[in-house]
Structure 1
Amino acid sequence: MLTKTPTARARGKGSDFAELSRRITAEGLLRRRPLYYTLRLGTVGLTLAGGVAAFLVLGDSWSQLFVAAALAVVFGQLALAAHDLAHRQVFSRRRPSEAGGLLVADVLLGMSYGWWMNKHTRHHANPNHEQKDPDVAPDLLVWSRRQASRAQGPARFIGRHQAVLFLPMLTLEGLNLSFSSFKALRGPAVKRPILEGVLLVAHFAVYFGGLFTVLSPGKALAFVAVHQGLFGIYLGSVFAPNHKGMPMIEEGRQLDFLRRQVLTSRNVTGGVFVDLFMGGLNHQIEHHLFPSMPTPALGRAQVITERYCAELGIPYCRTGLFASYATALRHLRSVGEPLREAR
């Protein structure tokens, strides 16, 4: 929880971020990187095609579970690509970004691009804000002691044990995204509900139709369990380290843009492997400050941003991958304590 009052400079001026933006722009870090994204998206597309080919060649075999595991990773990379398309990191214009997002998210992943983009935009505007960030809205999990004190129904039981249950619950995250996508088609978040509904139905018709045509029912269900379960874990392992366990912002707390983004975000170190695994989201602070910045520029932006934050005396959080998981789990256990005490 944030308790330190911002400095007068932070309250009274908007120039702190403007100066950082000037330095970032001077380095050319906001320029598009078409070659990078051509190679990256092309590689993911070829890998997906290879996975589908392997599925067709293997036929009705338990070896398909290895294909399911591999495709879980491919789907994770597709989700990261959809994320970059939504932020216009790939294309500067809205229409090609939206077309690419619909293709990757709705057609290939079975997730509504419009629903996710609406949700993610609100997260970026107010990260870790108890009332405004949908990613920390209380549901089955609670993210603050205030939320724990108000938890009802299944959330009270799950909240008591959420640090232990977090990983098993992630196995359902892929299916949850698809379920939430269909549910959102009836709400205002999706601007083209008919189009997205058709694309989502087409995705699942091909997905389940292919599985139950090639595989026996038992093997098909096992494939879904492995594929969707590992896909959900992959998504959680990429997104959970970025904000979970960082300060929560209560209603009425005033922070300027720079501090709001830096203080609620965490960077994850680990070199090229972590860069590939997390699709650049390990540079979460820089991504939140400059959402349209192409992934390959984030590393250089990190150096500039950390140095600038040191000049201003703003805490800047960097930690290893496994340390970030440990911090997130400790946070989940800590905020669930009031529910354990209330038994």
Structure 2
Amino acid sequence: MGYLQSVSEQGVIRRTRPRAPDRPHASDFTELAARVRQAGLMRRRYGYYWTKLVLLPLAFVAACIVFVWIGDTWWQLVTAVAFGVLLTQIAFLGHDAAHRQIFVSGKMSDWTCLIIGDLFIGMSYGWWRHKHTRHHANPNKEGVDPDLDLPVISFTVEQANRRRNPVSGWLVRHQGIFFYPILLLEGVSLHASSVVRVLSRQPVERRLVEICLLSVRLAGFVMLVFLVLSPGVAAGFLAVQLGVFGLYMGVSFAPNHKGMPVVPAAVKLDFLRRQVMMSRNIRGNRFVDTMMGGLNYQIEHHLFPSMPRPYLRRAAPLVRAYCREVDVPYTQVGLFRSYAIVLRHINRVGLGERDPFDCPIVAQRRSL
């Protein structure tokens, strides 16, 4: 039989093929996983990751030496930008380690994340793991995905309606204007949330280790900055470094799910559809792959979280073709197009409009 194929405005590839009536949805991911394993895309890439595990920390140490050598000058704001970019790249490596993309051993992975996350980035691994695990289990599900629950931005009309006092209502209606600028504060938020979590009574594995590592990183880095720079230059340096770090992290993660369908907590979808239909890939070359830390292959990453980053690019055509076979919408757009989609979605939610990117399957299940 033939296919019916169309591409929507949001870049969703839809290709319909008659499917066997006795083939359950639950078997779709099983078959895809078998194809991926057969292609050798789940093998470890120790050479690739050990190179990064050695070079990125060395680059951080080298940046600190250059920082001290340059001394007290406003040119250090350029160094601050470099630190912001470098720390985000290190954060991407910690993300890979947390998903067991590097090591098979869970203990080895955890300690790698503690060193990378707490000591180099200044972000609690225990806090982030708890939050990120819930996101992966239910991306874009209301009341379940923590990435939908931000204190200042509403991603659903229901969230916007709960913020209707004069001040928060005005902010919600204009949230499209503030979204990208507010990402400049994301670095401060990550550090603050980490400190609050490890000092609170909430469960954190290896709490004492995290407190020690975070103290060395946060207090030690601030002390170094103020020892080398005069107070005004030091304050400017920290503001730029944190702003670049937060913005870079934000623009790397925001295109992945924002503006994709948001489903109610009661809606049940099989694993393949839950991960593919709520995620968006970013089209690009290897430079884009490097700058986004592999997060531009968000669909493949959500389907196979432990897949080493170098294989994501090779897995994408295989997954895209399979989604056509089983008639699952697969979204892929350019980087700047994704930013425009996110901004348009946030604007419409702030003005009280329903999600314009709701897919037919989700809409049907919501009505049920």
TM-score above 0.5, yes or no: yes
Q: Give the Å deviation of 1:158.
A: 2.3
1:98 deviates by: 0.7
1:155–1:193 Cα change, 3 Å: farther
2:358 matched residue in structure 1: none
Aligned to 2:273: 259
1:75 aligns with 2:108: no
Q: What per-residue deviation string (whole Å, max 9, x for no partner) do you get for residues 119-168 of structure 1?
A: 00000000001110000014211111111111255543321111110122
Which position in structure 1 is the counterpart of 2:340?
Answer: 326
Q: Say how many residue pairs are matched.
A: 333
1:254-333 alignment to 2 at 5 Å?
254-333=268-347
**148-157 or 304-313, which deviates more:** 148-157
The separation in 1 between residues aligned to 2:168 and 2:202, in whole angstroms, is 27
Query: 1:249 aligned to 246, 263, 274, which one?
Result: 263
Q: Report runs of 4+ in structure 1 exceeding 6 Å deviation.
A: 7-11
Asked if structure 2 preserves the Cα contact closer than 8 Å seen for 1:11 and 1:255, the reply is no
Aligned residue runs from structure 1 range 205-220, under 5 A: 205-220=219-234
CA apart distance, 1:314? 0.7
1 or 2, which has the higher helix percentage? Answer: 1
Question: C-alpha distance in 1, partners of 2:289/2:43?
Answer: 19
Read off the aligned partner of 1:184 and give its amino acid letter.
R
- 1:12 and 1:31 map into 2 onto residues whose CA distance is 29
Whole-Å separation in 2 of the counterparts to 1:331 and 1:189: 35
Rounded Cα–Cα distance in structure 2 between residues aligned with 1:326 and 1:43? 35
Structure 1 segments unaligned to the other structure (5+ residues): 1-6
Superposed, 1:94-105 pairs within 5 Å as 94-105=106-117
SS of aligned partner of 1:244:
coil
2:137 is equivalent to residue 151 of structure 1: no
Quick one: which amino acid aligns to residue 334 of structure 2? Answer: G
Deviation of 1:319 (Å): 0.4
CA RMSD of aligned residues (A): 1.7
TM-score, reference length from structure 2: 0.87
Q: 1:198-240: CA deviations, max 9, x gaps?
A: 2111111211110111110001000001100011110011000
1:232-274 per-residue CA deviation (whole Å, 9 max, x = no partner) reads: 1100110001000000011211110000000000000111111
Distance 1:178 1:126, change over 3 A: same
Q: Distance in 2 between matches of 1:189 and 1:123?
A: 18
- With normalisation by structure 1, the TM-score equals 0.93
> Match of 2:128, as an amino acid?
W
Matching of residue 91 in structure 1 with residue 120 in structure 2: no
Aligned position for 1:197: 211
What is the rounded CA distance, in whole Å, between the counterparts of 1:131 and 1:261 in structure 2?
17
Deviation track 1:5-52 (CA, whole Å, cap 9, x = no partner) reads xx9979954111000000000011111100111222333223212211
Q: In structure 2, what is the Cα distance between the partners aligned to 1:34 and 1:168?
A: 38
In structure 2, the residue matched to 1:3 is none
Q: How far apart are residue 310 of structure 1 and its match?
A: 0.2
Candidates 23, 26, 40, aligned match of 2:35: 23
- The answer as to 2:175 corresponding to 1:177 is no
Pairing 1:165–2:175 present: no
| Structure 2 unaligned regions, length at least 5 | 1-18, 354-368
Separation in 2 of the partners of 1:191 and 1:49?
Answer: 28
Distance of 2:183 and 2:39 partners within structure 1: 39
The correspondence for 2:63, drawn from 42, 51, 55, is 51
What is the identity percentage for the equivalent residue pairs of Structure 1 and Structure 2? Answer: 47
Corresponding residue of 1:139: 151
